[in-house]
Chains A and B, each alone.
Chain A
């Protein structure tokens, strides 16, 4: 049986795995954003804490995915929940550090100009700092998403499903068709999501910043 026949015979399984994969990525990146964007804004106002928080987040990032999934498996058991906890944790750092640097790198003169025309602190945040930091924040989201598509393939190991399931079946049976049926869609998914977010980034970059090297 060739790869094409294999794919058409197992089309429904592959589709189901792909949808579960997208679900895992979508939920955990969203949780990562909800936690790290407000936290990044908070840290940019309390710079003394920033070093410590970013160092802790950075250390979490060096813990191999297999280890984190192992912890989650022991703590929460098998299924989607432990995978989502781990994936969300991994999604935090890139978005957090990009939000923080994006906001702290907004030049002081723009903030002063905002203050000069009578903006409140909230207005400065929403109308000056966040729009100027947006390209950096979105690039953090893009890095996170690519990471999470990758880590989510490991989630198959603890019964969360997704394309990793197919790869895993292929690895344990030494069956290259299962491996390719999981690996190729997951690679394409990573490319497509990265491309889409990159497009979104260009779309949302303030007109004044376009053509300026960030």
Chain B
């Protein structure tokens, strides 16, 4: 059984990694927009929160109407779910930077973009990272539901196990999922602590 489990684990991780890549890119950009543009922040944060509130099966089923059966639909779903922690943490990180640091950067003649890339984003990185951690751990668990909309990954043995009432089959998918979530959580928390310590 372990021989045919490896590709499923790999596919599961690949789905989560691709989704995380896009949600980080999109989430950080949205977080910066919320920070830069006045009044837009409430709209962006509210929207991300609203998406999170939609039940996952409902969201995935509706996405399936547009994107069809397959991995694309679950990836889009995971990107949408991962937005909230990343956007919120980027925004909180950027707005929490002490004024004297922003003034110092301005005083050195940095442009708005230079300040963002050289000063503001690096300073808020620890918080952005903990947002990414939450997103990854959640995505690993939500990705299981991909099987219901025709995606691959570890949802397949779990769902087959539920259908055939086969506990061993369910566990063969469930144990790797839970272990992966715990391992990612553990190591990313370690990195997070180190980042926070270094930032002082």
Whether A64 and B158, one on each chain, are in contact in the complex, defined by CB atoms closer than 8 angstroms, is yes
CB distance from A206 to the nearest CB of B (A): 25
What's the Cα separation between A208 and B170 when bound, in Å?
51
Tell me if A34 counts as interface (CB < 8 A to partner B). no
Partner of A67 from B50, B53, B58, B177 at Cβ < 8 Å? B177
A108 at the interface (CB under 8 A from B): no
Distance A153 CA – B185 CA, assembled complex (angstroms)? 27
A150 within 8 A of B: yes
Residue in B61, B178, B185 whose beta carbon sits within 8 Å of that of A183 in the complex: B61
Q: Which one of A44-52, A126-134, A184-192 is at the interface? A: A184-192
Q: Which of B57, B147, B178 has the most CB of A within 10 A?
A: B57
A70 adjacent to B59 (CB under 8 Å): no
A167 and B158 contact, Cβ closer than 8 Å, known pairs A67-B170, A190-B53, A190-B55: no
CB of A27 within 8 Å of the partner chain? no
Q: Least Cβ distance of B104 to chain A in Å?
A: 27
Interface residues of B in 29-82 (CB under 8 A from A): 50, 52-59, 61-62, 64-65
Q: CA of A184 to CA of B55 in the docked complex: distance in angstroms? A: 10
By a CB distance below 8 angstroms, the chain A residues around B55 are 149-150, 152-153, 183, 186-187, 190
A154 within 8 A of B: yes
Tell me whether B170 and A71 are in contact (CB under 8 A). yes
**Chain A stretch 63-85: residues in CB contact (< 8 A) with chain B:** 63-67, 69-71, 73-74
Taking CB atoms, residues of chain A closer than 8 Å to B177 are 64, 67
Could you count the A-B residue pairs with CB atoms below 8 Å apart for me: how many are there? 107
- B53 cross-chain contacts in A, Cβ below 8 A: 146, 187, 190-191, 194
What is the minimal beta-carbon distance from A25 to any residue of chain B, in angstroms?
A: 11
A87 located at the interface, meaning its Cβ lies under 8 Å from any Cβ of chain B in the complex? no
Q: How far does the Cβ of B183 sit from chain A's closest Cβ, in whole Å? A: 11
Q: Once the chains are docked, how many angstroms separate the CA of A163 from the CA of B61?
A: 12
Name the CB-closest residue of A to B167. Answer: A74
Residue A93, interface by CB 8 Å: no
How many residues of chain A are within 8 Å of chain B by beta carbon? 36
Taking a contact as CB atoms under 8 Å apart, the answer to whether B137 and A62 are in contact is: yes
- Chain B: interface residue count, which band? 35 or more
A183 x B62 contact (CB < 8 A): yes
Known A66-B155, A69-B162, A171-B64; judge A191-B58 contact (CB<8 A).
no
Whether B174 and A153, one on each chain, are in contact in the complex, defined by CB atoms closer than 8 angstroms, is no
Q: State how many angstroms separate the Cβ of B83 from the closest Cβ of chain A.
A: 16
Given A73-B162, A146-B53, A191-B53, 10 extra CB contacts under 8 A = A59-B178, A64-B142, A64-B174, A66-B158, A73-B165, A150-B57, A164-B57, A171-B64, A171-B149, A183-B57
Q: 28 A-B contacts, Cβ less than 8 Å apart?
A: A62-B137, A62-B182, A63-B174, A64-B155, A64-B177, A64-B178, A65-B145, A66-B145, A66-B147, A66-B155, A66-B159, A67-B158, A67-B177, A70-B174, A71-B170, A150-B57, A150-B58, A163-B58, A167-B57, A171-B64, A179-B62, A179-B64, A182-B61, A183-B58, A183-B59, A187-B53, A187-B59, A194-B53
Q: Which residues of A contact B (CB under 8 A)?
A: 59, 62-67, 69-71, 73-74, 146, 149-150, 152-154, 157-158, 163-164, 167, 170-171, 176, 179-180, 182-184, 186-187, 190-191, 194
- A-B pairs with lowest CB-CB distance, top 5: A183-B58, A150-B55, A70-B162, A64-B144, A67-B174
